[in-house]
Amino acid sequence: MIKLVALVRRRPDLTHEAFADYWVDVHAPLAAAIPGMRGYRINIAGDPGDMPEAPYHGSAEIYFDDRASMVAGLASPENDIAAKDTDNFLESVTFLVTDEHVILPKDRP
């Protein structure tokens, strides 16, 4: 399993609520159509409380079986549609290709 992590910043002209609503209700169904995806999670930053504000407004975790599946999915017309849609709600996106190491819970592979 390989995981692509997207670190995102919302467009400055969007409120937190408009950003979150667009990402979940409009963009996510487009992204979920990318072939070969095995999982897709969206993490929208909340109020940091006493902690410093993060440089990102959220992240996405996109899972593929392997690098070949990821490359094929990212070369698909469905990815082209989702990628173009990011201009509607994102100022920037930074991608990390990661190997996930689950520490807890211990019963998860």
Q: How confident is the model at residue 109 (pLDDT cuts 50, 70, 90)?
A: low
Predicted model pTM: 0.91
The pair phi, psi for residue 94, each rounded to 5°, is: -120, 130
Does residue 34 carry a pLDDT above 70? yes
pLDDT at residue number 31: 98
DSSP 58: E
Cα(30)–Cα(41) distance, rounded to whole angstroms? 13
